A and B are shown apart, each in its own frame.
Chain A
Amino acid sequence: MSEEVIPVVSMRGIEKRFPGVLANDRVDFEVRPGEIHALLGENGAGKTTLMNILYGIYQPDGGEILIRGESVVIHSPREAIELGIGMVHQHFRLVTSHSVAENIVLGLPGNLFFPEQAAREKIEEFSDRYNLTVDPEARIWQLSAGEQQRVEIIKALYRGAEILIMDEPTSMLTPGEVEDLFTVLRRMANEGNTIIFISHKLDEVMAVSDRVTVLRQGRVEATLETAQTEKRELARLMVGREVLFRIEKNEIKLGEEVLRIEGLHALNDKGLPAISGVSLRIARGEILGIAGVAGNGQRELVETIAGLRPATGGHIFVSGHEITSRSPREIIEKDVCFVPGERLTALVPEMSVTENLILKTYRDQRFIRGLFFNTREINSHADDLIERYAVTTPTRDTPLKLLSGGNIQRVMLARETSGKPALLIAAHPTSGLDVGAIEYIWQLLLKERERGTAVLLVSEDLEEALTLSDRIAVIFEGELMGIVPSVDTDLEEIGLMMAGAHRLPVPEAGE
């Protein structure tokens, strides 16, 4: 193009400082009208901070913002909306008991009465124009995550958004819903809207964006035309070094059965059925991945195995011993290790790295001398694990909460895998971590597999589940929709199973 296009958004030299962190360091970020611009970076790279500044949630400590060429100061989201900026947050902000139409007009000024007719007309207009199909009368709680996201997008459009910020929009969606979302985004861009797409997933960035800006440690690494780059380059920019994508997975002869679950039932925290008749088996040296959209019983399943939630029916055996509804301590003593998805339920952030490393093993005779702890032995155990698992911490006595997310997860994995478990339950082991940490944890899980551990891996990230697992069990509304081998799988089939639309006969059920 010869003539200079005026960028619709131009952020120049943006700086934002939080206590102890420079979240944005002189960031220059430009978005052209009508493009889908991906903002790529690891967790903590400063993507969301930058967008929160654009949306008026944070005030920058330095730099300036130009919208359509005019310098502006955005004090609040309200002012951002007036400038035609909308934001769809990662976690939706909808009133679940209200209808779609009510949610869309909620909080708009000027109306004493509910502008029902106007709302419906607008919703229908957006539905047609962008393929944003949603029933205005439906209640939010009746909708899937993908549909709720459409409501959020319509909400932003209704407020006149022409620049739409999407924060990690695919994290809650099934593969099919992701495709639908991309279609919507492309249509919106064709109609002249501008989309800023925050992500740390390279495949998505490659698939949907026109240009991409890579952030690393608060700085802009590069802004590139997506068509003129490739995954490997983006990964290198994002992490700051070469990243392995090929995971070496050796062929392993399966050993004897370690975990056997027969017709398991359990309730969720509200007392409603969360797990209904789940049956599966895992052998030594096998990784079984549980794939599914968040909230389909994954958490309840792993908690029931770990003894943190009573089973209301069925049986669980580990190495031939029944452990159904036994106490967590008895299950720990059967060499079952558990990395829960909510990390803070298994760590004590206020306590030191050392004290967190002995949380499961503090009763061991080697750590006790007479009435007291054998401090020397405990410290050398901690030093050993810190070294072996390359935990970056100032000292072993540093409170755990001061470590980075990746290092906190290393502490957890060091504790859970160093004791040579028979069964390792790993729920979302890499969620919220950056590419470097993810790579390390993948290698660690594969090492466990080679050592002969049976691994139950729960992941919302289908790519992760496929990369690591030998077999994939798809869970939907507490039931297993089928178990498939992870090689030569049909992604579409898994997607349908995740959405509950397809079911395979489970050979292991009933026995």
Chain B
Amino acid sequence: MNGFPALEVEKRRTVPRWLQFIAPIISLVLALVAIGIIFQALGIDPLFAYEEIFNGAFGSSYGFSETVVKSIPLMLTGIGLTLAFRARFWNIGAEGQLLIGATCATGLALAFPDWPRWLIMPLMFIIGFIGGALWGIIPALLKARWRVDEVITSLMLVYIASNLVNYLVYGPWKGPEEMGFPYTSKFSEAAQLPRLSWTRIHYPTLIIGIVIAVVIYLLLTRTKWGYEIRVTGENPSAARYAGMSYLKTLLLVMIISGGLAGLAGVGEVAGIHFRLRYPEGISPGYGFTAIIVAWLARLNPIGAVLTSLLLGGLLVGGDAIQISLGLPGATIFVFNGTILLFVLGGDLFARYRIRVKSKTEG
């Protein structure tokens, strides 16, 4: 009966600082090893595949510019998610908030094609933020009032947003000159974001993202609102005891988290496509990938700037191996899923340790 050595999982009293930094890196390496095994099983040399991915994402100036392009929505959305996750509010519906932001900005751009850039551009960002924020506070209200699980509601709202976009681009908003494609008409010049030289980098959005990372970092660590968010996340009963309003905190968190996802959506329609398209055309799951961005950054908003670049690179590199190795498009989702699994697992092992219980033969 006592033949097996017993494993004991015990919580570490403290997680040493070096471990906090090294755990995500180890997790990432292990994830790459695991994915390498999949590559091997498919008959592809993993080292070659990784080289292709790296070269695709960072090996050329074109590749790198595309990495930055994809990191912009990941950064904005990921920063918002660090805030939500700090409050232990599991917003996994950023994808929907992003689509609503894109939709609102599109509506404004299509309605006022004559407005000058200095007027229309800021308004598009503002209305995109508001749209994303409104989509984001629905699960917050449901949670605070009736304790409805936010994982379910925020996820279901993604499908509603996605179908709304589909309805608009196939129906009332379909551009007559788009030759039957599910696109809206192209935005006026004034409603298109400027890009950096020959690249697709719509730099105003990038700058907004970096500034916001710093702002959110300061909010979280240096203000009473950030303090309320952290206390609520760490110990909701202590927050209540201290007279903090759960509803108010969740609303604040989700206005910002949803709003930033909305800004990401604005950036995509105003900086990349210049029109609203079918949902998968606007976002290849940025809202979901941003969850990995936030966790890999250990819920640090400034860290999310760096990790968004990494995940952006994976998206670009994933495209590259689809072409050069003839892999299916879903490969990148396997990639992302595996990384998230390992990052979450790594987080667990940083906080707990496994010991072999000393047990002499009985």
Contact = CB atoms under 8 A, between A and B. Distances in A.
A347 B235 contact: yes
Contacts of B242: 328, 332, 346, 359-360, 362
A345 B227 contact: no
Contacts of A76: 2, 362
Contact of A373 (B223, B240, B243): B223
Contact of A75 (B10, B238, B243, B359): B359
A348 B231 contact: yes
Interface string B190-218: 00000000000000000000000000001
B10 to A, nearest CB: 8
Most buried by B among A328, A348, A367, A373: A348
Contact of B223 (A59, A79, A359, A372): A372
Interface residues of A, number: 40
Interface residues of B, number: 25
A332 B13 contact: no
A75 B360 CA distance: 8
Contacts of B18: none
A50 to B, nearest CB: 18
Contacts of B14: 399, 402
A59 B356 CA distance: 13
B240 to A, nearest CB: 6
Contact of B231 (A73, A308, A359, A402): A359
A507 interface: no
Contacts of A360: 242-243
A299 interface: no
Contact of A362 (B224, B237, B238, B241): B224
Most buried by A among B230, B240, B243: B243
B267 to A, nearest CB: 27
A348 B223 contact: no
A340 B240 CA distance: 13
B308 to A, nearest CB: 26
A350 B227 contact: no
A75 B6 CA distance: 13
B222 interface: yes
A110 interface: no
Interface of B: 2, 10, 13-14, 218, 222-224, 227, 230-231, 234-235, 237-238, 240-245, 358-360, 362
Given A351-B234, A375-B222, 16 more contacts: A19-B13, A20-B13, A59-B359, A59-B360, A306-B241, A328-B241, A328-B243, A330-B243, A331-B243, A338-B241, A347-B238, A359-B242, A372-B218, A372-B223, A373-B223, A373-B227
Interface of A: 19-20, 59, 73, 75-76, 79, 306, 308, 327-332, 338, 340, 344-351, 355, 358-360, 362-363, 367-368, 371-373, 375, 399, 401-402
Q: Which 3 A-B pairs have the closest CB atoms?
A: A329-B243, A345-B237, A328-B243
